[in-house]
Structure 1
Amino acid sequence: MYEGPAHDTRFPGLRRRGFLAAAGAAAGLGALSLTGCTGHTPDAADGDGKPRRGGRLRAAFAGGGASETLDPHLANLFADAARAKALFDKLADFGADLAAEPRLAASWEPNAALDRWTVKLRKATFHNGKPVTARDVLYSFRRIADPKKTFRAKASLEPLDLKASRAVDDRTLTFALKRPTAEFPNILAAFGAYIVPDGATDFDTRPVGSGPFRFVSFTPGRSAVFRRNDDYWDGAPHLEQLELLVANEESARLNSLLGGQVEYAHELSPTTARAHQGKGQIEIIRLRNSAMQAFAMKTDRPPFDDKRVREA
């Protein structure tokens, strides 16, 4: 989620915009996280309780070691998802009710047969100042769908006929589908379906996205530092800087939080949380979002070839 309550009275100044846009968005997948109640306060609040711009948020995640990358199409871990959400955007994302909501896509409209969908892009720019265009979208999706690669969103994009899909103009695309698909917006919101600049291949030296934060530095297995994107189409985050640190051991993430080295520790066990709850140093954050489970049915053979069974 990119948006949330404008202000949480438990954490003065800890705006969800800029926090959940990166670190907390990964936590929203159901993990339990702790945030520090004392010490450094990111995005401090004025006397009237309204947040003001500035400050730094440091968040600790379990990572993937030296093999980590900022390539958003390779994102798998919570740390990967947090870094990708900080730097990049998708055409759509899932809301609290698990319905696809527009992001870089301003709208989508099907034809009568549901096998052609027209997508119009909103006005947005990459961090290098270039506009996000239909060419960037097609490049990104075709890169993900490359049969020689193993990108996370490849299976989600399978219904798209990307060879037949076309850019109508800079901000309009027509997606051809292999079969009628009423749930086309969910494809745009697929995990890992981020939009990157046309031709982009180097994501670890100086990645360019259209997300809420800009790249500063990245050391695989250790940390990634980002700064606020003042030109973000959805409104600049209040935080000036976001630092995502890697600490694979739960005890290391907890000790960093208790010691004031980070303000947020992700994916801690309920036992750890209960042991420190109510002591005044940390606060438990539970993001109660909806969840969904897929049930695959082979509709060409019994019993799922019977429509009544599928509907039941």
Structure 2
Amino acid sequence: MRKMNKRSLFFTSLTAAALLLAACGTDDSDPIDGGTDPGEETGTDTEGAQGGDLVIGQLSDAVSLDPHGSNDTPSSNVAYNIYEALLIQDENMELQPGLATEWERVDDLTWQFTLREDVTFHDGSEFNADVVQANFERILDEDIASPRAFLYEMVEEINVVDDYTVEFVTEYPFSPLPAHIAHNGGGMISAEVIAEDYEAIENGSEPGSVINENPVGTGPFVFESWTPGDEIVLNRNDDYWGDAPALDSITFRVVPEGSTRLADLETGAIHISDPLSPSDVSRVEGTDGMSVISQPSVSLSYIGFNAQKEPFDDPLVRQAISKAIDKDTIINGIYDGVGIPAESPLAPGVFGHDENISGLEYNVEEARELLAEAGYEDGFSTTIWTNDNQDRIDTATAVQAQLAEIGIDVEIEIVEWGAYLEDTAAGEHDMFILGWSTVTGDADYGLYPLFHSDNFGVAGNRTFFATDELDSVLEEARQSSDEDERLDLYSRAQEILVDEAPMIPIHHPEFLLAVSDDVEGLWQHPTGILMLRDVSLNQ
């Protein structure tokens, strides 16, 4: 058995592994997972509907095509078709085989995965246990600084048992590990490309630079091209180990304006508009040749505070603003009542969600009193950031008007998506509007990245809020193997968040797509990822 741990000399061993693969002549996010085993018959009849280029009009461009180097849905939507994880989650968030066919818990600290054989990467290199080890060692490499590292930080060893068996040993019992393994952040990259990326780093390049230019996975589609700010094109993988896709190609086209996306859908320039604003549902439903696809989600929309900046470092100010914002007006007026009002970051159906938790109630008079108690009787001036998502812009406008009632003057700043993620991760904001998807279906993912002090910035904690008590509760909850104890701890964590108010949970959205009637076989995962492998076009 070969062992590697977090502190091993990764590059040397990875290069050796890549050279070995080459010598043998043989031969990958907000988000995650298919509804069927790619190796099994899906029952989708695509006869007579083969080929064609599916064009998706989407709000924002991908940030990165390195599955270990991004933490946003636009990137994950593309990467999901290039890379595959060891496990996937179906439409009910249940775990299913992916690149691993079996998995079992050997003891409290050890999980073993049996891998598929005869799977090759797009570059012809072989998928095996050495490659799995190389990928997870890369995610955990501090020099790579992967925003996905928190998913696997409990992993102490990744052991190659044999060519197609790999073992994960954790520092402490961690029941959600298989769900974390299913995260698209665990997408498998060709070991040869990883080795090339490390070589480029040695020569002064940024981590992921090679992978971004040449993303190589085992998935049903192969990278063709990326014109930043315009489109990404993927072609069908004719050598895919499972059932080959019906489509010839997929184009992810950046169309920031929702009205433009709908106009493109009406003219046939695109086949899917993602997302669809709730206010446009009636327009789509009243137009021949297109329809609406809706999907309940495990996502959250929220307004966050930078808790390390004055005056938002004062919980009284955060509570005051929380009470001054009428969430029902936002949900009903902007989202047309689509979605579930949020009392905490965890959606119903996520393990750890406590239905007895009640958030701070809307009460303008109490908001004024809290603001005065904090020393801001006359209010103050601040900014709220949003990206160029119309629903979020409308939410910012509503917040601006509501906070004016308690003397807070709010300036709205609209920031391009990539810069928005970068600048909020750097803590340059005051207030901001964003979302989070608990893609594993477990409270650990819904709370630990958002509120633990280890995860300030790009990993998820853009409020820069943490307390010793909350850190302790979240750590204890993720380390416990007792389900009831975990539920109690997560209830306590949600109570702390209500009291401290580092964010205002708005609602758990329902995902909406506008889709051409020429598209068949499309569905959207509860995490927001588009399931495209079995899609076909009537043409």
TM-score by length of 2: 0.45
Match of 1:120 in 2: 114
Shift of 1:243: 0.9
Larger radius of gyration: 2
Q: State the distance in 2 between where 1:221 and 1:300 align.
A: 38
**2:238 alignment partner in structure 1:** 230
1:189 aligns with 2:182: yes
Residue 109 of structure 1 deviates from its aligned partner by: 1.8
Write the deviation string for residues 134-179 of structure 1: whole angstroms up to 9, x where unpaired. Answer: 1211121122122244433211112211xx3211222111211111
Distance 2:108 2:252 in 1: 41
Which whole-Å CA distance do the structure 2 matches of 1:51 and 1:115 have between them?
50
Q: How does 1:200-219 map to 2 (within 5 A)?
A: 200=194, 201=197, 202-219=210-227
Conservation of the 8 A alpha-carbon contact between 2:69 and 2:147: yes
Match of 1:29 in 2: none
8 Å CA contact 1:69, 1:203 repeated in 2:
no
Query: Partner of 2:68: helix, strand, or coil?
Result: helix
Q: How does 1:241-256 map to 2 (within 5 A)?
A: 241-256=249-264
Match of 2:146 in 1: 151
1:133-148 correspondence runs (5 A): 133-148=128-143
Does 2:202 correspond to 1:170? no
Mapped to 2, the partners of 1:246 and 1:300 lie a distance apart of: 38
Of the three residues 253, 261, 268, the one matched with 1:260 is: 268
- Residues 191 and 206 from structure 1, CA distance in 2 versus in 1: closer, same or farther, beyond 3 angstroms? closer
Partners of 1:281 and 1:212 in 2: CA distance: 28
* Cα distance change of structure 1 residues 243 and 309 upon mapping to structure 2, 3 Å threshold: closer
Say whether the 8 Å CA contact 2:67–2:184 is kept in structure 1. no
Alignment match, 1:277: 285
Alignment partner of 1:287: what SS? strand
Q: Deviations over 1:83-105 (max 9, x none)?
A: 10111101112222222222011
Deviation at 1:259, TM superposition (A): 2.3
The 1:301–1:104 alpha-carbon spacing in structure 2 relative to 1, beyond 3 Å, is closer
**Displacement after TM superposition at 1:122 (Å):** 0.4
Q: Provide the rounded CA distance (Å) in 1 between the counterparts of 2:61 and 2:139.
A: 21
Deviation at residue 64 of structure 1 after TM alignment = 4.0
> What is the identity percentage for the equivalent residue pairs of Structure 1 and Structure 2?
28
Q: How many residues align?
A: 265
What does residue 34 of structure 2 align with?
2
1:103 alignment partner in structure 2 = 98
**Does the Cα contact within 8 Å between 1:64 and 1:77 map onto a contact in 2?**
no
Give the TM-score of the pair, scaled to structure 1: 0.75
For the aligned residue pairs, the C-alpha RMSD in angstroms reads: 2.9
Match for 1:249: what amino acid?
A: E
Match of 2:530? none
Contact in 2 for aligned 1:153/1:191 (Cα 8 Å) = no
Q: Is the 8 Å Cα contact of residues 96 and 289 (structure 1) preserved in structure 2?
A: no
Q: Is the 8 A contact 2:112 2:167 kept in 1?
A: yes
Amino acid at match of 2:128: T
